[in-house]
Amino acid sequence: MESQHSMTINGNPLSFSVGETILDVARRNSIDIPTLCHLKGASPTGVCRVCVVEVAGARNLLPACATPADDNMAIKTESARVVEARRLIIQLMLSSGNHNCAIRGPDTTDWAQFQLAVQKDDDHAELCPVWGDCRLQDLAYRYQVSGEGFERIKSPYPMETVNPFIVRDFARCIQCGRCVQACNEVQVNNAIDFGYQSSRTKIITSGDRPLKDSDCVFCGECVQVCPVGALVEKNSRYSVRQWETKKVRTTCSYCGVGCQLDLHVKDNQVVKVTGAEGAVPNYGSLCVKGRFGYDFIHSSDRLTRPLIRKNGELVEGDWDEALDLVSQRLGTIKDQNGPDSIGVLSSARITNEENYLTQKFTRAVLKTNNVDHCARL
């Protein structure tokens, strides 16, 4: 029988299992330790240092995400020393690149003055596209930190907008490495990694080519895990604020895996799609079609009435006429050529019940097993 292991966090005695980190134990017991670089399911790096904690007897503050839990550890997660270190770390991040996270919003000033303050602060004409939905901004507010006090370091790299799905803003990148881990350890695409050194360090593809010319498959995993505005969806950038949307859980309609999606809906329009975190079978991960292929939902080309070919042209008809025509034609083909001359292809964009009825109709009425589904192709 495995012996009991125990430690204390903020004076609370807690048990742990061998292999757990301090962060694992804290989160399991609903103790909040902030993180930026930590990515569930990937190797802990401790690179951001935001999760540092004070361990009794340790000379330095230790990263909770990368430090194994040990017997008799006495840990403080919000001591004066810890808070001071986190404030400095956040301040350094805010001073590196374009981050208007800490600028006060237009609650008491007009929007024009707010935009002028943004531009003055980071030499950027636009408000960050994830303003109000940024982990760095949350931490800046939590610890009351701004980027003042350090000389601002401007990014030497221009924004990349040439690919069809993702905008890469290197000036907003904090080099936490979450996108690299998501690409290499979660999706195992190995399309990006850290490149160059010192102040010129950035996340690059092989040969530092644009994403569209690289091994990237545009699954968008990097976008979903980015804690700041360095990686954003091109179609939804500046089109909607996060708090203006409602999340609707659904199942992806493209294949038979059954990935769980969160549709971000505003005014009855889907404006963005994200993977449902923690939901089986995909646990937040998606492919390029699941994440970006939702434009068909509101397409003007979608049929709302049946089209019937008359005199060589497709014209709108009513459902009774269309169903009568299909029934007549199927009966004629079956009588003349036998049931196996007919094949039925079903769709992932209808419900399971409708797909069941489709195969039942094919086998029981048409008397053929020639039925398939687009999700298998």
Q: Which domain holds residue 34?
A: 5-78
Residue 92 lies in a domain: no
Residue 36 lies in a domain: yes
Same-domain status, 55 and 152? no
Same-domain status, 188 and 234? yes
Residue 88 lies in a domain: no
List, in order, residues 6 or more apart from 31 with CB less than 8 Å away.
9, 10, 12, 77
Residue 86 lies in a domain: no
Q: Specify the pLDDT at position 240.
A: 83
* Number of domains forming the structure of the chain: 3
Please report the DSSP string for 232-278 in residue order: EETTTTTT--GGG-EEEEEE-SSSSS--EEEEEEETTEEEEEEE-TT
User: What parts of the chain have a pLDDT lower than 70?
Assistant: 1-3, 101-126, 147, 376-377
Residue ending a domain, choose from 271, 298, 325: 298
Q: Specify the pLDDT at position 220.
A: 97
Residue 118 lies in a domain: yes
pLDDT tens digits for 13-28? 999 999 999 999 999 9
Same-domain status, 233 and 153? yes
Per-position b or e across 86-110, b if 16+ CB within 10 A of its CB: bbebbbbbbbbbbbbbbbeeeeeee
Same-domain status, 260 and 330? no
Same-domain status, 243 and 315? no
Q: Specify the pLDDT at position 377.
A: 54
H-run or E-run covering 114:
helix 111-122
Q: Specify the pLDDT at position 1.
A: 42
Residue 94 lies in a domain: no
Same-domain status, 113 and 260? yes
- The burial of 74, by beta-carbon neighbours within 10 Å (0-12 exposed, 13-18 middle, 19 or more buried), is given as middle
Same-domain status, 173 and 285? yes
Judge contact between 50 and 89, C-beta under 8 A. yes
Angstrom distance (rounded) from CA 361 to CA 344: 10
pLDDT tens digits for 345-367? 998 778 889 999 999 999 999 99
Residue 85 lies in a domain: no
Q: Specify the pLDDT at position 76.
A: 98
Same-domain status, 162 and 231? yes
Q: Specify the pLDDT at position 146.
A: 77
Residue 341 lies in a domain: yes
Same-domain status, 125 and 242? yes
